[in-house]
Amino acid sequence: MPEGPEIRRAADQLEKALQGKVLTDVWFSYPELQTYQQALIGERVVSIETRGKALLTHFSNGLTLYSHNQLYGVWRVVKTGSVPEGKRILRVRLAAADKTLLLFSASEIELLDAEGVARHPFLLKIGPDVLDMSLTEETVRERLLSPRFRRRQFSGLLLDQAFLAGLGNYLRVEILWQAQLAAHHKAESLNEAQCDALVTALLAVPRLSYQTRGQADEKHHHGALFRFKVFHRAGKACERCGGTIERTMLSSRPFYWCAGCQK
């Protein structure tokens, strides 16, 4: 399952293909959206925003295309005029002169005005996105220590999009290793140093993953590249303390940790 960093990188590809370009063709498979097709031709894609696993494509006329891929949805960038082979069902086509964005198989697609975005039930439910660069450690700390979240075990809290959007299973595992915390802890029982470490990791780990994951060429990267320290490494030695990495199931997802240094 893609998590926030993968969703944001996909959105970057879509933005690169279409941002600022005039739309020459717009098509939606859902009849209730087809009334907007003509209104969007001649407009531009202003930006593509990610909120957890939802994508918000903002148009120059003030409308926003909300899409949530669920399990099967996928966006593709193709050369305008070409139709990729495959069994997936096309839901959305946004074309400019040179490039076209295609959305296949997604079931949750809506066109909203600014008020519709502000009132959208999914967007109201989720917390701030970890890859929103205006999100600060201070805000994360406030959320973590708020009455709503402070008594929740990290095993469940770090998967809850209402706490912070964009976190998922591999990030949950890597953040807790980075902060040297066990999954059963709660924010209310942390000392200040532990709290600082967790708050830092909650933003630093997803952002490093977004910036560098999948890049093996260190020559172009000053500083660290994102690597799994514990995820899918059961039975291997922890690089921090030499302890053995263990695996279990928590919140019905595989969980990995070092029993030596995650206390």
Residues across the chain: 263
CB atoms within 10 A of CB 47: 13
Q: Decide if 65 contacts 111 (C-beta within 8 A).
A: yes
Q: Catalytic site residue 253?
A: yes
- Pairing state of beta strands 54-59 and 45-51? antiparallel
Per annotation, catalytic residue among 21, 150, 240, 253: 253
Query: At which residue do the structure tokens 């922890």 appear?
Result: 238
- Counting DSSP H helices and E strands in the chain, the numbers are 9, 10
Q: Which residues contact 53 (CB under 8 A, 6 or more apart)?
A: 2, 4, 7, 68, 69, 161, 165, 166
The CA distance from 223 to 71, in Å, is 34
Which residues neighbour 39 within 8 Å (Cβ) at sequence distance 6 or greater? 61, 63
d(CA 15, CA 103): 14
Catalytic residue among 8, 51, 53, 91: 53
Catalytic option among 3, 5, 143, 229: 3
Q: Are 39 and 54 in contact (CB under 8 A)?
A: no
Active centre residues (catalytic) = 2-3, 53, 253
